Amino acid sequence: MRIKIKKLHPQAIIPKYQTTFSAGFDLHALDSHILKANECALISTGLAFEIESSYEVQVRPRSGLALKNGISVLNAPGTIDSDYRGEIKVLLINHSSEDFVIESGDRIAQGVVSRVYQAEFEEVGELTDSQRGAGGFGSSGVGEQGNYQ
């Protein structure tokens, strides 16, 4: 599959995979920014994508930024739909108690290409029973003694 990329700014960096078998490609900050402690910000990449139909790009955190600095993608995974042609921006959050400096060109997130399947919706009066039933949050982890695993 091929993603067409338009640079909206001359300083924008075209993404690339860092290793042969990487699932994600890096997205880079266009501008420098101070991401204040416990705050979020929309960070520009200076790029626009044309993604083939039936695909999306999921925007995910970089594990190193999350582990070392508490920086994550707030709406992870963010979705870039195939019909979106605007600038790719990344919604970052700083979960730490210290401000974090983003320099122009820093790798701030990763993009992963994923196939999209659109479902057909059918309204029905009843749903078939299942082992879980209507059990909600945490209900699939109950062990034999009734403890969550």
Q: Which tops the pLDDT comparison, 47 or 137? A: 47
CB 42 within 8 Å of CB 61: no
CATH architecture of 4-118: Distorted Sandwich (2.70)
How many angstroms separate the CA atoms of 114 and 24, rounded? 10
Q: What is the pLDDT of residues 91-149, one digit of tens each?
A: 999 999 999 999 999 999 999 999 999 999 999 999 999 888 887 887 776 555 555 54
Residue-wise DSSP of 97-112: SS-EEEPTT-EEEEEE
Domain map of the chain by residue range? 4-118
DSSP 67: H
Task: Count CB atoms within 10 A of the CB of residue 102.
Answer: 22
Q: What is the pLDDT of residues 64-82, one digit of tens each?
A: 999 999 999 999 999 999 9
| pLDDT of 114 | 97
DSSP 21: T
How many angstroms separate the CA atoms of 145 and 137, rounded? 18
